[in-house]
Chain A
Amino acid sequence: MNQVLANMCLAIPGMITEEYTENGMKMAKVSFSGVIRTVCTEWVPEAKIGDYILSHAGTAISVVDPKEAEEILSLLDEMN
C-alpha cells in the first residue's frame, strides 16, 4: 500500500468515508482497501460519501464514473 501511495504519477481509487473542512479546505477521509488516508477534495465538488475518487499526492483529481467503469468491462467481456 505504501509503495502504491509513494508512486509519483499514479492515482489510486479509494472510497470517501467522511467529509470535513480543515483550514478552509475541503477534505475527506478515504478508504483504500481499509487503509484510511486524508485527501483534499477541493477539485471534486460533486463527490459525496460512498463515491470512489482517484487520489494523487493527497488530492482527489476525479470521481470514478461507475457507469463508464462497468460499460467498458462488459463491452470487453462480450468481445469475441
Chain B
Amino acid sequence: MKYIDEYRDPDIVRKLASKINGSVTQQWSIMEICGGQTHAIMKYNLTELLPPEITLIHGPGCPVCVTPLEKIDKALVLASIEGTILASFGDMMRVPGSSSDLLKAKAEGADVRVVYSPLDALKIAITNPDRKVVFFAIGFETTAPANALALIHAARMEISNFFLLSSHVLVPPAIRAILSSEDTFIDGLLAPGHVCTVTGYSDYIDLANEFNLPVAVTGFEPVDILSGILTTIQMLESGRNEVENCYARSVHREGNPHALRTMYEAFEVCDRQWRGIGLIPGSGLSIREKYSAFDAEKHFTLNNIISKEPEICIAGSVLRGTSRPSDCPAFATSCTPDHPLGAPMVSSEGACAAYYKYKSQH
C-alpha cells in the first residue's frame, strides 16, 4: 500500500537503528503515548533494534482500555432494553464489564452491531425508524470528531431515534497527570500522530515547556517510530526540550480546523474518569446541552449500576506506564485475549494484547 510499504523499508529501518545506537550516551526512558504505536513496536520487534540504554514506556493511548467500567456496564444495560440496537466499534465487543461483555450480550440475544464508522450507526437508525439506536461513542481526539459529525448530522436530519453513549477522552490532560505523578520517570515523549493530525501540536509544546522534556510527533510505521525515537534521543542528548514533527505528511501545527470545529460544536470539555487511572480534570468531552436529546444517559434510565473491577488485574499501572503487562500475575495465565480480565488484553491497541500476540513470535 502506498504511504505504508515505504515506511517499512528494512534498509531505512537498519540505518535508523544504527544512527540511534550511535547517538546514545546515557540511559533514557521514552513514552510512546499511543497504543497503536505500542502495537507497531511489538509487532516489528523494534525494541530489539534499540540500544539497552533506551527504555520504551507504553502510554495510556488506548481509548478502549481507558473507557470507564461504568460506561461498559451502561452499554450492557442499554443493549438489554427491548427494542434497542447497540452499535459499537469492534474493539469494544470483548471488553469485560462487571459481569459480562457486549459479545456475550449479543450471543444471548441482544441486538448488538459492530460498525466501523459512527455514520454507519446513524444509517442503522435511519433504516430502523421504529427502533432506538445507541452508538457507543468512545475515543480520543482522533475519533471524537467523527462521533460529533454523526450527532450533528442526526440533528440536522431530525432523526429522533439515534443516541450516543458518550465517553470521549483528551490526551494532553492525561499526559500531564502521568508526568506529574511521582512514580513515573519519563525523559521524552512520542506524541500520537493521528490525535495530532486532528488537534495539531500546540498542547504538546506546552507539555514540553512545563515538564522540560522533548516531544516528537510520531507516526505508526517502523520508519516513523524509529525516526521519532532518533529525534527524541538527539534532542535529549543535546539538552533541547522542544517539539519536532516527525509525521509531517499528515500533521500540521494547527491540526485539522474543520474536524476540530465539528468536535467542539457537539462536545464540550469536562472532567473524566479514566479506567485504571482515575478522575482527570478537563480530560473528557461531553455532549453539549443543545444536543442533549441525543444523549443516551439522559434519554434512558440508567440508575443503580454497581461496577466492580477484577482484583487481580493491574491494567491501571500498565496504563500509567509504571508496570509492564508481563509483571501481572494473571498475564497469559488467567488473562488471555480469549478470557480477558482487563481491557488492555482485548483491544488492538492494548499493551497486554500486544505483549501476548507478539512476544511469543520473537
Residues of A within 8 A of B (CB): 3, 5-13, 15, 23-25, 32-33, 40, 42-45, 52, 54, 56-59, 61-62, 64-66, 68-69, 72-73, 76-77, 79
How far apart sit A52 and B3, CA to CA, in the bound complex (Å)? 9
- Is the pair B143, A57 in contact by a Cβ cutoff of 8 Å? yes
How far apart sit A72 and B221, CA to CA, in the bound complex (Å)? 13
Shortest A2–chain B CB gap in Å is 8
A-B pairs, 10 with minimum CB distance? A58-B117, A43-B258, A69-B249, A13-B3, A57-B146, A68-B248, A6-B90, A68-B249, A43-B259, A59-B146
* B15 CB-CB contact with A under 8 Å: yes
Interface size on B, residues (CB 8 A): 61
How far apart sit A3 and B198, CA to CA, in the bound complex (Å)? 23
Q: Which of A13, A72, A79 contacts B2 (CB 8 A)?
A: A13
* B161 CB-CB contact with A under 8 Å: no
Q: Mark B135-167, 1 if CB is under 8 A from A, else 0.
A: 000111011011101000100110000000000
Tell me the number of A-to-B contacts counted with CB atoms below 8 Å. Answer: 146
* B275 CB-CB contact with A under 8 Å: no
Which residues on the B side are within 8 Å of A43 (C-beta)? 145, 256, 258-259, 262
Q: Is the contact region of chain A dominated by helix, strand, or loop, or is it mixed?
A: mixed
Q: Which residue of B lies closest to A59 (CB)?
A: B146
Which residues on the A side are within 8 Å of B192 (C-beta)? 9
* B96 CB-CB contact with A under 8 Å: no
* B48 CB-CB contact with A under 8 Å: no
How far apart sit A67 and B19, CA to CA, in the bound complex (Å)? 24
- Is the pair A7, B258 in contact by a Cβ cutoff of 8 Å? no
Given contacts A9-B61, A52-B3, 7 further A-B contacts (CB under 8 A): A9-B34, A9-B195, A43-B259, A61-B197, A61-B250, A73-B12, A79-B15
Which residues on the B side are within 8 Å of A8 (C-beta)? 62-64, 89, 91, 138-139, 143, 347-349
Residues of B within 8 A of A (CB): 1-4, 6-7, 9, 11-12, 15-16, 19, 34-36, 61-64, 89-91, 114, 116-120, 138-140, 142-143, 145-147, 149, 153, 156-157, 192, 194-195, 197-198, 220, 223, 227, 246, 248-252, 256, 258-259, 262, 347-349
Q: Which residue of B lies closest to A8 (CB)?
A: B91
A sample of 16 inter-chain contacts (CB < 8 A) reads: A3-B348, A7-B349, A9-B35, A10-B36, A12-B1, A40-B119, A43-B259, A43-B262, A57-B118, A59-B145, A61-B145, A61-B197, A61-B259, A69-B3, A73-B6, A73-B7
Q: Which residue of A lies closest to B115 (CB)?
A: A58
- Is the pair A64, B250 in contact by a Cβ cutoff of 8 Å? yes
